Amino acid sequence: MTGMRTFDELRKAQIDGPTLLTIGNFDGIHRGHQALLLHIQRLATQMAAACGAPVNTAILTFDPHPVQVLRPDLPHFLLTTPMERLELAAAFGLTHGVIHPFNLETAQLTPHAFVELLKQHLGLAVLVVGPDFALGRNRAGDIATLRALGDEFHFTVEVIEPVIDGEQAAGGELAGVDKIMRSSHIRELLRAGAVDRAAALLGRPYRVSGIVEHGDQRGRQVGIPTANLRTAPDKLLPADGVYATRTLLAGFDGVQSFYSATNVGVRPTVDGLHRRVEAHILDFPPPGQVDDLYGRALAVDFLFRLRGEKRFANVADLVTQIHADVAQARALFADYARAGETPARPAGWRHS
């Protein structure tokens, strides 16, 4: 992760301030989150110029998501893993990242105790948050409380107004719903298969990454091989269906990028039992390259939805439809390229 120091627990960090810090779940690092990160960077530049010394910028997020601890009865799926959030924040120039364990002990910390840890371990000088932010037990550390604690611990609180989704405000498909940009809205869109709309709120295509694992070889047997992706169990997958996608493949010499057609679902025509992500990578392998992908890291960016998943009368009909899907995807990719987009590597993804 270029330029960012990371810590897997707040108490393990020991940063000499001053530090500009933001705290939150930041699931998705959507355009609202990005506005906050950009504000931190601008403020850090101003402070560094004024004091003639570097200023730290830091993000603190939680693992697991607090909902998974406080409401274990409610299934919760993530847009981004904690490490993906830090990687995306690093792309915005933040210098430090903390993934703090969220457990019952964390939930019971008072605002005073939490702030004391932030001051001791991160050198907190400025806390940058949204207007509805609160920390500590029972969310007692609201903005007014934090500003009072700032007087005691010598830090300031900056409140950034939330980003409004302009399409909603103009009567888009979520008109009438809370117009502040939120991760929950993006989850709704993905569950509906509206990956292009989700991308507009994220500021980038929605990404699913994992390791290529062995499947049942059905695709290879019919001449349409697929890479079966093993994803994190709490990662939100788009609605079942077929998508035009961009696949990024990690290798020793960097990251290669290809257009692809990807199926999400249980494959009802062949009586599949488990939900899978299967990417058919177009024009792969390139000349001189082997096509063995098993065990390799792979990421899929979802660009457009082609159709929903359906059961066909037989495998031959399914294969005919897949060829039609690929042809439709290629046409969309051609339009995508003419609009100035390329399948180049987007920021915020690396392989280990």
Q: What is the pLDDT of residues 86-109, one digit of tens each?
A: 999 999 999 999 999 999 999 999
Residue type, 309: E
- 281-337, pLDDT tens digit by residue? 998 877 656 667 888 889 999 999 999 988 887 888 888 888 999 999 999 888 877
Q: What is the DSSP string of 225-289?
A: --EEEE--TTBPPPPSEEEEEEEEEEETTEEEEEEEEEEEE--GGGT--S-EEEEEETT-SPTT-
pLDDT at residue 283 in the model:
87
Q: Which residues contact 221 (CB under 8 A, 6 or more apart)?
A: none
> Which amino acid type is present at position 172?
G
Strands (E), the chain: 5-7, 19-23, 56-63, 96-101, 124-129, 156-159, 206-213, 227-230, 241-251, 254-265, 276-281, 297-308
- Domains located in the chain, CATH noted: 5-159 (3.40.50.620), 204-338 (2.40.30.30)
Q: For residue 180, name the pLDDT band (cuts at 50, 70, 90).
A: confident
Mean pLDDT of 245-258: 84
194-240 pLDDT, tens digit per residue, is 999 999 999 999 999 999 998 665 555 556 888 999 999 999 999 99
Residue 352 has pLDDT above 80, yes or no: no
For residue 77, give the H/E element and its range. Answer: none
Q: 26 - beta bridge partners?
A: none
Between 81 and 349, the more confident residue is 81
Number of C-beta neighbours around residue 50 at 10 A: 9
> What pLDDT, on the 0 to 100 scale, is given for residue 99?
97
Buried b (16+ CB within 10 A) or exposed e, 88-121: bbbbbbbbbbbbbebeeebeebebeebbbebbeb
Cβ contacts of residue 180 below 8 Å, gap of 6+? 32, 162, 163, 164, 165
Span 131-152, mean pLDDT? 95
User: What does the block give as tokens for 260?
Assistant: 């692809």
CA–centroid distance for 12 within its chain: 25
Calculate the average pLDDT of the chain: 87
C-alpha 289: how far from chain center:
30
120 dihedral zone (left: phi>0; alpha: psi -120 to 50; beta): alpha
Question: Pseudo-torsion of CA 211, 216, 217, 218, nearest 10°?
Answer: -130
Q: Is 200 helix (H, G, I), strand (E, B) or coil?
A: helix
Phi, psi for residue 21 in degrees, rounded to 5: -125, 145
* pLDDT reported for residue 319: 86
